Amino acid sequence: MTVMAIRMYIKYRNNKYQILRTTSVWFFQIVFAFLIPEILVRFDKPWYDFKNAFPLDYDFFFSWNLNSLIASGGFGLFILVWGIVLTLVVVPVMVYFFGKRWYCSWVCGCGGLAETLGDPFRHLSNKSIGAWKLERWLVHGVLAFSLLMTGFTLYSYFSGAQVVLGVKTQTIQNIYGFLIGSIFAGVIGTGFYPIFGNRVWCRFGCPLAAYLGLVQRFKSRFRITTNGGQCISCGNCSTYCEMGIDVRAYAQKGQSIVRSSCVGCGICSAVCPRGVLKLENGPLENRTFSPEFPLGNTLK
Ligand code: SF4
Ligand code: SF4
């Protein structure tokens, strides 16, 4: 990640947003995902990555973790409260103000890897309508699966029953851990960058991205505004959108981009030769309309 971050610095040396963003994901990965947890363990505290929010951190409510946190006294309880507050308060409030980019493109480890190691493969994302439909089914399906599993987990934890509705909670946890945690997030999500592009996990599988996306779509100040009159239809923006969004179609119509999947990486803006695209946080009203075309249009 460090080597590929240096590559990003060189490639986007004239783009302040990309330099800052790359520094941010690198910092959060090195300090939050590696250094702080290792230091905690040295001091006999639980291993914990303070930026890894549930449901991406899908085993946060597993009994072994809850027992470990509770057994660790005040500090463990602090982690328990922080983990809940992070998911229920910090994440949605930050998405309201800044869009999901604050997490997916500035903080997250998966996003950090995708934006450094995966950058050479971003153009491979599938741009078809079929992929968009599949994306919505899959990513929301994984979110529902993670919530269902967590419901079973918490019921088992508080009631002591290991079987809920005829199904062993442990079995559901094992299936989720293997299929989603290992195969989808690990093998496909990272190993298949050269085939499916660099955000295949974030786009099709991450339950946290699905949650952030719902807030971004319906209750966020973030949007990408387009200056349609300047667009020369070169298609660079669509080609390099790692989430498979047809950015050019929005630009041609002069419509602001408000999509739940947009991670706000800003590459569409960076590669646009005409300065058409701007990542902005503004008022909630009329956010799908562009200042250039105040009456808006019908593209959803
Ligand atoms: S629309 Fe632009 S900012 Fe959003 S994911 Fe695509 S390239 Fe990144
Ligand atoms: S990169 Fe810029 S000029 Fe080219 S199609 Fe996209 S918005 Fe239009």
| pLDDT (0 to 100) of residue 299 | 39
Q: For the chain, which residues make up each domain, given as ranges?
A: 2-211, 221-300
When mean pLDDT is compared across 54-63, 134-143, 186-195, the lowest value belongs to 186-195
Band (pLDDT 50/70/90 cuts) for residue 295 is very low
CB of 271 within 6 A of ligand 1: the answer is: no
Band (pLDDT 50/70/90 cuts) for residue 290 is low
| pLDDT (0 to 100) of residue 289 | 64
Q: Which ligand is nearest to the CA of 251?
A: 2
Band (pLDDT 50/70/90 cuts) for residue 142 is very high
The mean pLDDT of the chain is: 93
Q: Which atom of ligand 1 is found nearest the CA of 237?
A: 7
Q: For 196-236, write each residue's pLDDT tens digit.
A: 999 999 999 999 999 999 999 999 999 999 988 899 999 99
Distance 268 CA to ligand 2 centre (A): 8
CATH number of the domain at 221-300, out of 3.90.79.10, 3.40.50.1700, 3.40.50.410, 3.30.70.20?
A: 3.30.70.20
Q: Which atom of ligand 1 is found nearest the CA of 105?
A: 8
pLDDT at 297 over 60: no
Band (pLDDT 50/70/90 cuts) for residue 300 is very low
Q: For 62-74, write each residue's pLDDT tens digit.
A: 999 999 999 999 9
Tally Cβ neighbours within 10 Å of residue 54: 21
Q: Which of 135, 223, 242 to mutate to test the pocket of ligand 1 (most atoms within 8 A of CB)?
A: 242
Are 48 and 79 in contact, with CB atoms under 8 Å apart?
A: yes
